[in-house]
Amino acid sequence: MQIKPIALKNLIIKNNIFLAPIAGYTDLAFRTLSLDNGYGLCFTELVSAKGLVLNPTVNSILWGANGNYDRTAVQIFGQDPYYMRSACESKELEDYKIIDINMGCPVPKVFKNGEGSALLKDILKAESIISECVKSGKIITVKIRTGQKMGDDIASEFSKMAENAGASLITIHGRVREAYYTGEPDYNAIYKAKKSVNIPVIANGGIFTKEDANKMVNETGADGIMLARGGIANPFLVCELLGIKPNLTLKEFIITHLTESIKIHGDRKAGLEFKKFAPYYFKGMLGVSELKKQINYAKTAEETIRLIEENF
Ligand SMILES: Cc1cc2nc3c(=O)[nH]c(=O)nc-3n(C[C@H](O)[C@H](O)[C@H](O)COP(=O)(O)O)c2cc1C
Protein backbone atom coordinates (compact mmCIF):
# COMPACT_ATOMS: atom_id res chain seq x y z
CA MET A 1 0.00 0.00 0.00
CA GLN A 2 1.02 3.56 -0.58
CA ILE A 3 1.96 5.48 2.55
CA LYS A 4 0.68 9.04 2.50
CA PRO A 5 -0.38 11.78 4.92
CA ILE A 6 -4.03 12.41 5.70
CA ALA A 7 -5.31 15.97 6.00
CA LEU A 8 -8.06 16.63 8.54
CA LYS A 9 -8.96 20.30 8.24
CA ASN A 10 -5.73 22.06 9.25
CA LEU A 11 -4.23 19.01 10.92
CA ILE A 12 -1.91 16.77 8.92
CA ILE A 13 -1.70 13.17 10.09
CA LYS A 14 1.74 12.00 9.03
CA ASN A 15 0.67 8.65 7.62
CA ASN A 16 -2.40 6.60 6.77
CA ILE A 17 -1.98 3.68 9.15
CA PHE A 18 -4.16 4.08 12.21
CA LEU A 19 -4.43 2.03 15.39
CA ALA A 20 -8.07 1.18 16.17
CA PRO A 21 -9.96 1.92 19.34
CA ILE A 22 -9.99 -1.41 21.20
CA ALA A 23 -11.70 -1.40 24.59
CA GLY A 24 -9.53 -2.96 27.27
CA TYR A 25 -6.40 -2.91 25.09
CA THR A 26 -5.61 0.50 23.65
CA ASP A 27 -4.88 2.03 27.01
CA LEU A 28 -2.29 4.74 27.51
CA ALA A 29 0.61 2.27 27.70
CA PHE A 30 -0.26 0.45 24.48
CA ARG A 31 -1.07 3.66 22.60
CA THR A 32 2.21 5.28 23.64
CA LEU A 33 4.25 2.32 22.42
CA SER A 34 2.18 2.10 19.25
CA LEU A 35 2.79 5.73 18.36
CA ASP A 36 6.52 5.09 18.90
CA ASN A 37 6.20 2.27 16.35
CA GLY A 38 4.98 4.77 13.76
CA TYR A 39 1.17 4.86 13.56
CA GLY A 40 -0.11 8.13 12.15
CA LEU A 41 -3.03 8.23 14.58
CA CYS A 42 -4.37 6.18 17.45
CA PHE A 43 -7.70 6.22 19.26
CA THR A 44 -8.81 5.86 22.85
CA GLU A 45 -11.37 3.19 23.51
CA LEU A 46 -15.03 4.24 23.42
CA VAL A 47 -16.06 6.57 26.25
CA SER A 48 -19.68 7.38 27.12
CA ALA A 49 -20.48 11.01 26.24
CA LYS A 50 -23.30 11.17 28.77
CA GLY A 51 -21.09 9.63 31.46
CA LEU A 52 -18.38 12.16 30.75
CA VAL A 53 -20.78 15.09 30.98
CA LEU A 54 -22.68 13.95 34.07
CA ASN A 55 -19.72 12.48 35.92
CA PRO A 56 -16.62 14.22 34.61
CA THR A 57 -13.51 12.28 35.52
CA VAL A 58 -10.30 12.04 33.59
CA ASN A 59 -8.31 8.87 33.95
CA SER A 60 -5.56 7.28 31.91
CA ILE A 61 -8.09 6.12 29.28
CA LEU A 62 -8.40 9.75 28.28
CA TRP A 63 -4.77 10.85 28.44
CA GLY A 64 -3.07 11.50 25.12
CA ALA A 65 -0.02 9.30 24.60
CA ASN A 66 3.09 11.29 25.60
CA GLY A 67 0.74 14.23 26.03
CA ASN A 68 0.38 14.04 22.26
CA TYR A 69 -3.08 15.15 21.17
CA ASP A 70 -2.18 15.66 17.51
CA ARG A 71 -1.85 11.92 17.05
CA THR A 72 -4.49 10.67 19.47
CA ALA A 73 -8.23 10.90 18.89
CA VAL A 74 -10.77 10.30 21.60
CA GLN A 75 -13.74 8.11 20.74
CA ILE A 76 -17.12 8.89 22.26
CA PHE A 77 -20.43 7.05 22.06
CA GLY A 78 -24.01 7.97 22.82
CA GLN A 79 -27.36 8.58 21.17
CA ASP A 80 -28.30 12.01 22.47
CA PRO A 81 -27.00 14.86 20.27
CA TYR A 82 -27.01 17.21 23.30
CA TYR A 83 -24.69 15.03 25.40
CA MET A 84 -22.54 14.19 22.39
CA ARG A 85 -21.91 17.86 21.63
CA SER A 86 -21.48 18.70 25.32
CA ALA A 87 -18.83 16.00 25.59
CA CYS A 88 -17.00 17.48 22.58
CA GLU A 89 -17.05 20.86 24.31
CA SER A 90 -16.19 19.53 27.76
CA LYS A 91 -13.16 20.60 29.72
CA GLU A 92 -12.15 16.95 30.00
CA LEU A 93 -11.68 16.72 26.22
CA GLU A 94 -10.34 20.21 25.67
CA ASP A 95 -6.87 19.01 24.61
CA TYR A 96 -8.27 16.75 21.91
CA LYS A 97 -8.44 18.10 18.36
CA ILE A 98 -10.07 15.00 16.87
CA ILE A 99 -13.21 13.41 18.27
CA ASP A 100 -14.35 10.12 16.78
CA ILE A 101 -17.98 9.05 17.05
CA ASN A 102 -18.65 5.36 17.57
CA MET A 103 -21.41 4.13 15.28
CA GLY A 104 -20.27 0.53 15.12
CA CYS A 105 -20.20 -1.01 18.58
CA PRO A 106 -22.24 -4.26 18.45
CA VAL A 107 -22.27 -5.00 22.19
CA PRO A 108 -25.88 -5.51 23.42
CA LYS A 109 -25.47 -3.10 26.37
CA VAL A 110 -24.64 -0.28 23.94
CA PHE A 111 -26.89 -1.38 21.08
CA LYS A 112 -30.00 -1.66 23.29
CA ASN A 113 -29.59 1.99 24.30
CA GLY A 114 -29.75 3.07 20.67
CA GLU A 115 -26.00 3.77 20.71
CA GLY A 116 -23.05 2.43 18.69
CA SER A 117 -24.17 0.27 15.75
CA ALA A 118 -27.86 0.93 16.55
CA LEU A 119 -27.36 4.34 14.95
CA LEU A 120 -26.74 2.67 11.60
CA LYS A 121 -30.49 2.06 11.37
CA ASP A 122 -31.40 5.60 12.37
CA ILE A 123 -29.68 7.77 9.82
CA LEU A 124 -31.55 10.94 10.86
CA LYS A 125 -30.47 10.57 14.48
CA ALA A 126 -26.93 9.79 13.35
CA GLU A 127 -26.94 12.90 11.18
CA SER A 128 -28.10 15.13 14.01
CA ILE A 129 -25.41 13.71 16.31
CA ILE A 130 -22.67 14.39 13.76
CA SER A 131 -23.85 17.90 12.89
CA GLU A 132 -24.21 18.85 16.58
CA CYS A 133 -20.71 17.55 17.33
CA VAL A 134 -19.31 19.47 14.35
CA LYS A 135 -20.68 22.69 15.89
CA SER A 136 -18.18 22.19 18.73
CA GLY A 137 -15.44 23.24 16.30
CA LYS A 138 -13.51 19.99 16.80
CA ILE A 139 -12.46 17.74 13.95
CA ILE A 140 -15.18 15.09 13.91
CA THR A 141 -14.60 11.62 12.51
CA VAL A 142 -17.02 8.69 12.47
CA LYS A 143 -16.48 4.94 12.69
CA ILE A 144 -19.19 2.73 11.20
CA ARG A 145 -19.89 -0.82 10.08
CA THR A 146 -21.47 -1.86 6.79
CA GLY A 147 -24.87 -2.56 8.36
CA GLN A 148 -26.80 -4.66 10.83
CA LYS A 149 -27.44 -7.99 9.09
CA MET A 150 -25.62 -10.14 6.56
CA GLY A 151 -26.20 -8.70 3.10
CA ASP A 152 -26.72 -5.11 4.36
CA ASP A 153 -24.72 -2.31 2.81
CA ILE A 154 -25.39 1.10 4.25
CA ALA A 155 -21.79 2.31 3.97
CA SER A 156 -22.18 4.62 0.93
CA GLU A 157 -25.42 6.23 2.07
CA PHE A 158 -24.06 6.66 5.56
CA SER A 159 -20.71 8.03 4.45
CA LYS A 160 -22.42 10.62 2.21
CA MET A 161 -24.62 11.67 5.12
CA ALA A 162 -21.58 11.94 7.43
CA GLU A 163 -19.70 14.07 4.91
CA ASN A 164 -22.68 16.39 4.42
CA ALA A 165 -23.09 16.68 8.19
CA GLY A 166 -19.50 17.91 8.45
CA ALA A 167 -17.44 14.84 9.34
CA SER A 168 -13.80 15.06 8.28
CA LEU A 169 -13.08 11.34 7.93
CA ILE A 170 -14.95 8.07 8.03
CA THR A 171 -13.62 4.70 9.11
CA ILE A 172 -15.49 1.69 7.79
CA HIS A 173 -15.23 -1.63 9.58
CA GLY A 174 -16.21 -3.87 6.68
CA ARG A 175 -18.49 -6.15 8.66
CA VAL A 176 -22.12 -5.99 9.74
CA ARG A 177 -23.18 -5.89 13.38
CA GLU A 178 -24.31 -9.48 13.46
CA ALA A 179 -20.84 -10.65 12.28
CA TYR A 180 -19.19 -9.02 15.29
CA TYR A 181 -15.48 -9.56 14.52
CA THR A 182 -15.47 -12.57 12.23
CA GLY A 183 -15.61 -13.22 8.52
CA GLU A 184 -14.16 -11.65 5.42
CA PRO A 185 -14.62 -7.88 5.26
CA ASP A 186 -17.03 -6.53 2.65
CA TYR A 187 -14.47 -4.89 0.36
CA ASN A 188 -17.09 -3.89 -2.17
CA ALA A 189 -19.13 -1.91 0.37
CA ILE A 190 -16.02 0.06 1.35
CA TYR A 191 -15.08 0.57 -2.31
CA LYS A 192 -18.50 2.03 -3.13
CA ALA A 193 -18.45 4.25 -0.06
CA LYS A 194 -14.97 5.54 -0.93
CA LYS A 195 -16.18 6.43 -4.42
CA SER A 196 -19.16 8.34 -3.09
CA VAL A 197 -17.39 10.86 -0.82
CA ASN A 198 -14.54 13.35 -0.91
CA ILE A 199 -13.44 13.00 2.71
CA PRO A 200 -10.79 10.38 3.52
CA VAL A 201 -12.05 6.83 4.02
CA ILE A 202 -10.13 4.46 6.27
CA ALA A 203 -10.74 0.74 5.83
CA ASN A 204 -10.77 -1.67 8.75
CA GLY A 205 -11.33 -5.36 9.35
CA GLY A 206 -9.24 -8.51 9.24
CA ILE A 207 -5.83 -6.94 8.55
CA PHE A 208 -3.21 -9.19 10.15
CA THR A 209 -0.42 -9.18 7.54
CA LYS A 210 1.15 -6.96 4.91
CA GLU A 211 -0.74 -8.98 2.28
CA ASP A 212 -4.04 -8.29 4.05
CA ALA A 213 -3.21 -4.58 4.15
CA ASN A 214 -2.37 -4.48 0.44
CA LYS A 215 -5.50 -6.44 -0.42
CA MET A 216 -7.67 -4.09 1.64
CA VAL A 217 -6.32 -0.99 -0.10
CA ASN A 218 -6.30 -2.55 -3.58
CA GLU A 219 -9.86 -3.82 -3.29
CA THR A 220 -11.38 -0.75 -1.69
CA GLY A 221 -9.30 2.20 -2.91
CA ALA A 222 -9.39 3.44 0.71
CA ASP A 223 -7.12 6.31 1.72
CA GLY A 224 -5.68 4.35 4.60
CA ILE A 225 -6.17 1.43 6.93
CA MET A 226 -6.90 0.85 10.59
CA LEU A 227 -5.31 -2.09 12.41
CA ALA A 228 -7.10 -3.60 15.39
CA ARG A 229 -6.38 -7.17 16.54
CA GLY A 230 -3.61 -7.43 13.93
CA GLY A 231 -1.91 -4.48 15.61
CA ILE A 232 -1.97 -6.23 18.99
CA ALA A 233 -0.89 -9.62 17.68
CA ASN A 234 2.01 -8.03 15.81
CA PRO A 235 2.97 -4.62 17.24
CA PHE A 236 5.57 -4.29 14.46
CA LEU A 237 3.16 -4.82 11.55
CA VAL A 238 2.91 -1.03 11.31
CA CYS A 239 6.73 -0.78 10.99
CA GLU A 240 6.67 -3.39 8.22
CA LEU A 241 3.98 -1.45 6.35
CA LEU A 242 5.86 1.81 6.78
CA GLY A 243 9.14 0.17 5.76
CA ILE A 244 10.92 1.19 8.97
CA LYS A 245 13.01 -0.81 11.41
CA PRO A 246 11.42 -1.24 14.84
CA ASN A 247 13.22 0.47 17.74
CA LEU A 248 12.70 -2.53 20.00
CA THR A 249 12.73 -6.32 19.83
CA LEU A 250 9.46 -8.07 20.74
CA LYS A 251 10.92 -8.96 24.15
CA GLU A 252 11.88 -5.32 24.76
CA PHE A 253 8.47 -4.18 23.54
CA ILE A 254 6.65 -6.52 25.93
CA ILE A 255 8.81 -5.53 28.90
CA THR A 256 8.39 -1.82 28.12
CA HIS A 257 4.64 -2.38 27.83
CA LEU A 258 4.58 -3.96 31.28
CA THR A 259 6.83 -1.26 32.77
CA GLU A 260 4.67 1.56 31.40
CA SER A 261 1.54 -0.24 32.50
CA ILE A 262 2.87 -0.49 36.09
CA LYS A 263 3.38 3.31 36.12
CA ILE A 264 -0.24 3.82 35.05
CA HIS A 265 -2.15 1.02 36.76
CA GLY A 266 0.14 -0.16 39.58
CA ASP A 267 1.85 -3.54 39.75
CA ARG A 268 -1.14 -5.75 40.48
CA LYS A 269 -3.58 -4.32 37.93
CA ALA A 270 -0.83 -4.12 35.27
CA GLY A 271 -0.21 -7.84 35.82
CA LEU A 272 -3.90 -8.59 35.35
CA GLU A 273 -4.19 -6.36 32.27
CA PHE A 274 -1.24 -8.11 30.67
CA LYS A 275 -2.96 -11.50 30.81
CA LYS A 276 -5.25 -10.26 28.01
CA PHE A 277 -2.28 -9.36 25.81
CA ALA A 278 -0.20 -12.50 26.36
CA PRO A 279 -2.29 -14.78 24.07
CA TYR A 280 -1.88 -12.21 21.26
CA TYR A 281 1.85 -11.64 21.80
CA PHE A 282 2.74 -15.32 22.02
CA LYS A 283 0.25 -16.66 19.46
CA GLY A 284 1.71 -19.29 17.16
CA MET A 285 5.10 -19.25 18.91
CA LEU A 286 6.76 -22.54 19.63
CA GLY A 287 8.30 -23.38 23.01
CA VAL A 288 6.38 -20.77 25.04
CA SER A 289 3.54 -22.87 26.45
CA GLU A 290 5.18 -23.21 29.89
CA LEU A 291 5.91 -19.46 29.96
CA LYS A 292 2.28 -18.68 29.04
CA LYS A 293 1.10 -20.93 31.87
CA GLN A 294 3.38 -19.23 34.39
CA ILE A 295 2.28 -15.77 33.24
CA ASN A 296 -1.28 -16.84 33.82
CA TYR A 297 -0.45 -17.66 37.45
CA ALA A 298 1.68 -14.54 38.01
CA LYS A 299 0.20 -12.18 40.60
CA THR A 300 1.96 -8.99 39.56
CA ALA A 301 3.48 -7.33 36.52
CA GLU A 302 6.93 -7.39 38.17
CA GLU A 303 6.63 -11.16 38.42
CA THR A 304 5.63 -11.35 34.75
CA ILE A 305 8.61 -9.21 33.75
CA ARG A 306 10.94 -11.55 35.63
CA LEU A 307 9.38 -14.59 33.93
CA ILE A 308 9.80 -13.01 30.50
CA GLU A 309 13.35 -11.87 31.18
CA GLU A 310 14.35 -15.37 32.24
CA ASN A 311 12.37 -17.49 29.77
CA PHE A 312 11.71 -15.62 26.54
C1 LIG B 1 -11.97 -6.47 22.34
C2 LIG B 1 -12.38 -5.45 21.32
C3 LIG B 1 -12.72 -4.17 21.74
C4 LIG B 1 -13.12 -3.20 20.79
N5 LIG B 1 -13.40 -1.94 21.21
C6 LIG B 1 -13.77 -1.00 20.30
C7 LIG B 1 -14.03 0.34 20.70
O8 LIG B 1 -13.89 0.73 21.88
N9 LIG B 1 -14.43 1.22 19.73
C10 LIG B 1 -14.56 0.84 18.41
O11 LIG B 1 -14.91 1.66 17.56
N12 LIG B 1 -14.29 -0.41 18.01
C13 LIG B 1 -13.88 -1.32 18.92
N14 LIG B 1 -13.56 -2.58 18.50
C15 LIG B 1 -13.59 -2.87 17.06
C16 LIG B 1 -12.20 -2.63 16.42
O17 LIG B 1 -11.85 -1.28 16.47
C18 LIG B 1 -12.20 -3.09 14.95
O19 LIG B 1 -13.16 -2.35 14.24
C20 LIG B 1 -12.52 -4.57 14.81
O21 LIG B 1 -11.80 -5.35 15.73
C22 LIG B 1 -12.23 -5.07 13.38
O23 LIG B 1 -10.86 -4.98 13.08
P24 LIG B 1 -9.92 -6.30 13.09
O25 LIG B 1 -10.64 -7.36 12.31
O26 LIG B 1 -8.65 -5.84 12.41
O27 LIG B 1 -9.71 -6.69 14.52
C28 LIG B 1 -13.18 -3.54 19.42
C29 LIG B 1 -12.82 -4.84 19.01
C30 LIG B 1 -12.43 -5.79 19.93
C31 LIG B 1 -12.04 -7.16 19.44
Residue 1 resides in a domain: no
- pLDDT reported for residue 58: 76
Q: Whose CA is nearest to atom 6 of ligand 1?
A: 22
pLDDT for 292-308, tens place per residue?
999 999 999 999 999 99
Find the 106 Cα to ligand 1 centroid distance in Å.
10
**In terms of domains, do 38 and 171 share one?**
yes
Does the beta carbon of 203 sit less than 6 angstroms from any atom of ligand 1? no
**In terms of domains, do 297 and 217 share one?**
no
pLDDT for 54-87, tens place per residue?
998 877 888 877 778 999 999 999 999 999 999 9
- At which of 213, 242, 271 does a domain end? 242
Q: Tell me the CATH number at 181.
A: 3.20.20.70
Does the beta carbon of 228 sit less than 6 angstroms from any atom of ligand 1? yes
**In terms of domains, do 188 and 281 share one?**
no
Q: Please check whether residue 84 is in contact with residue 101, taking contact to mean a CB–CB distance below 8 angstroms.
A: yes
**In terms of domains, do 307 and 255 share one?**
yes
Does the beta carbon of 237 sit less than 6 angstroms from any atom of ligand 1? no
**In terms of domains, do 292 and 223 share one?**
no
3-state SS assignment for residue 156: helix
Sorted by sequence, the CB contacts under 8 Å of residue 167 that are 6+ apart come out as 101, 130, 134, 140, 141, 142, 199
Q: Please report which confidence band the pLDDT of residue 197 belongs to, taking 50, 70 and 90 as the band edges.
A: very high
- pLDDT reported for residue 7: 98
Q: Whose CA is nearest to atom 22 of ligand 1?
A: 205
Q: What is the pTM of this model?
A: 0.97
pLDDT for 81-130, tens place per residue?
999 999 999 999 999 999 999 999 999 999 999 999 999 999 999 999 99
Q: Please report which confidence band the pLDDT of residue 285 belongs to, taking 50, 70 and 90 as the band edges.
A: confident
The domain containing residue 263 runs over which residues?
250-311
Count of domains forming the chain? 2
**In terms of domains, do 268 and 210 share one?**
no
- At which of 242, 258, 286 does a domain end? 242
Whole-number Å distance between alpha carbons of 80 and 146 = 22
Does the beta carbon of 81 sit less than 6 angstroms from any atom of ligand 1? no
Does the beta carbon of 185 sit less than 6 angstroms from any atom of ligand 1? no
**In terms of domains, do 14 and 72 share one?**
yes
